[in-house]
Amino acid sequence: KAGVTQTPRYLIKTRGQQVTLSCSPISGHRSVSWYQQTPGQGLQFLFEYFSETQRNKGNFPGRFSGRQFSNSRSEMNVSTLELGDSALYLCASSPRTGGDRGYTFGSGTRLTVV
């Protein structure tokens, strides 16, 4: 069965711009979580969506937002990009809400802000 698909794989943006990342979860999975991965901070939780509703949100500024569609696909948006937003953004799908049922991660979107 198909895994978690994230697009695009790589992005280069300029400071001040905005960006939208996409994630298609495993078929049948209704929970999608987003994580930011950087060498300094490691893996940090951004938010989780379940049945089109944001269930939880991590400690990130309001510039980071997301949404989930009726087919469980999810997008995350970062507005007014800063250099510090350069990171690997990972999407994880799960059959149930919460990470305690095991995540399946996508390969991530590598965002570089210049």
For other proteins, the binding residues (CB under 8 A) are 4, 33, 35, 42-45, 48, 56, 58, 90, 92, 97-108
Q: Between residues 16 and 98, which has the closer beta carbon with respect to other proteins? A: 98
Q: What is the dihedral of CA 99, 101, 104, 108, to 10 degrees?
A: 0
Distance in Å, CB of 49 to other proteins, minimum: 11
Distance from C-alpha of 56 to C-alpha of 47, rounded to nearest angstrom:
5
Q: Between residues 13 and 60, which has the closer beta carbon with respect to other proteins? A: 60
Both structure tokens of 51: 């049945």
Q: Between residues 15 and 101, which has the closer beta carbon with respect to other proteins? A: 101
DSSP-H helix ranges across the chain: none
Q: Can you say how many angstroms the Cα of residue 88 is from the centroid of all Cα atoms in its chain?
A: 9
